[in-house]
Structure 1
Amino acid sequence: MRFFKLIVLSVVVFALFVFLLSLVFPSTAVVERTGVIHAPLDSVYAQVNNLKAWEQWNPWSRPDTTAQLVYSQQAEGAGASYSWHGQLNSGKVMITDSRKDKGVHYQMDIANMRPVKGGIELKPTADGQGTAIFWHMEIKLGMLPWWKLRGFISDRIYGPAMDAGLTKLSRICERQ
């Protein structure tokens, strides 16, 4: 009986330690990537403003390959959205703000995940020949320890996919 009490006490102390440790971590995770695309701003903006074009470069445009994408009537600009329902998950992406001089901001909701606010900001490069791009995602994690611990490694989880997406976007825009 004493051994059982020791195990229960150890589990409680460990859980308390994990919870207290999670209080040190921020309740928001931010993942950012930047780059330069050697194409005019108009060309890059056309790709990031059109949700149907996202299938070609965005790593999360089709997170479940069995899913069918359903687009809203409007596929470009603020208010445009698409949703998917597949075997693995379902979700929705909506462009919340879109301006050529600022870029595109969006909200992404995936079942059983925390909501993501993201943005793809665009500026012409200093020489005017290319486009500087800044892609960022913000995930509100809340106070639960397992979400906060996941947020601690979110850059390692999402960063490589964002890098791959920027590389694909660059190839598409530079070919045009």
Structure 2
Amino acid sequence: MLVSLLVASAAVVFGSFLLPDSYEVRRSIVVNGKPEQVFPYLNNPTKWEEWNAWNKAYDPTLIRLYGGPLSGKGAYQEWNGDRVGMVKVHFTESTPPNELYYKQFIKGEEFETIGIFSLEPLEEGTRVVWHQKTRVADDILNKYKGFFKKLKTEAETEQSLLSLKLLLDPNAKADSKAQIANGKGRS
């Protein structure tokens, strides 16, 4: 039994060396509307509550605070809730109606996320690409937490993009698997 415990412990420790010190999530969806119509929902932090997966339904104790300019570079939002914890999203660069860059910090976690929204005009609407890269502290616990955090972030990103699509076109189908691409190709 002692040998099994030692082997399992060694596997956990050595397994952490195989885990990366960062992870990326990239998803895209085609939404109804021109980039000029879509971009305000991304560029204005007060609009995020209309489509973001972190909302009152997910965490009824959620409180949002806003600061800086109303939109664009320098605007920020903070979320605080029992389920989401304390999160700050700070817009670092904004190029309407094409790109928005932000940094996200979660209090008490060793994660820093750099996010980019890119909008591409199409005949049938706008492709919204949401790319997030998160740096994880280089220790055993945080590498494993990062692995599971990536899975959760993928699901939340897909849900948020689908909500954005439904917000812009209430008649759109709600089948997220058929509408959300992993960002590596066309959706």
TM-score by length of 1: 0.82
For residues 91 and 163 of structure 1, the distance between their equivalents in structure 2, rounded to whole angstroms, comes to 19
Q: Which residue of structure 1 lines up, in the alignment, with residue 126 of structure 2?
A: 131
The amino acid across from 2:38 in the alignment is: V
Q: Which residue of structure 1 lines up, in the alignment, with residue 119 of structure 2?
A: 122
The amino acid across from 1:157 in the alignment is: K
Q: Quick check: 1:71 aligned with 2:66?
A: yes
Q: Quick check: 1:43 aligned with 2:37?
A: yes
The structural deviation recorded for 1:91 is 2.3
Q: Give CA-to-partner distance per residue, 1:116-172, whole Å, 9 cap, x none.
A: 2111111111x2x41111112111112222322233344432222211111111122
| Segment of structure 1 superposing worse, 58-67 or 45-54 | 58-67
The structural deviation recorded for 1:102 is 3.4
Pick one of 93, 98, 103 that aligns with 1:97. 93
For residues 148 and 82 of structure 2, the distance between their equivalents in structure 1, rounded to whole angstroms, comes to 26
The structural deviation recorded for 1:80 is 0.1
Given that 2:91 and 2:103 are in contact with CA atoms closer than 8 Å, whether structure 1 keeps it comes out as yes
Identity fraction in percent: 25
Given that 2:35 and 2:98 are in contact with CA atoms closer than 8 Å, whether structure 1 keeps it comes out as no
Q: Quick check: 1:159 aligned with 2:154?
A: yes
**Pair 157,68 (structure 1): closer, same or farther in 2 beyond 3 Å:** closer
The structural deviation recorded for 1:29 is 1.0
The structural deviation recorded for 1:94 is 0.7
User: Gapped runs of 5+ residues in structure 1?
Assistant: 1-5
Q: Based on CA coordinates, which of the two structures has the bigger radius of gyration?
A: 1
Given that 1:23 and 1:143 are in contact with CA atoms closer than 8 Å, whether structure 2 keeps it comes out as no
RMSD between aligned residues: 2.3
The structural deviation recorded for 1:109 is 1.1
TM-score by length of 2: 0.78
Number of equivalenced pairs:
167
For residues 91 and 134 of structure 1, the distance between their equivalents in structure 2, rounded to whole angstroms, comes to 22
| Segment of structure 1 superposing worse, 62-71 or 35-44 | 62-71
Q: Quick check: 1:171 aligned with 2:166?
A: yes
Q: Give CA-to-partner distance per residue, 1:43-83, whole Å, 9 cap, x none.
A: 11111101000000011366743232221141200100122
Given that 1:27 and 1:141 are in contact with CA atoms closer than 8 Å, whether structure 2 keeps it comes out as yes
Q: Which residue of structure 1 lines up, in the alignment, with residue 173 of structure 2?
A: none
Pick one of 29, 52, 57 that aligns with 2:23. 29
For residues 46 and 27 of structure 2, the distance between their equivalents in structure 1, rounded to whole angstroms, comes to 22
**Pair 171,67 (structure 1): closer, same or farther in 2 beyond 3 Å:** closer
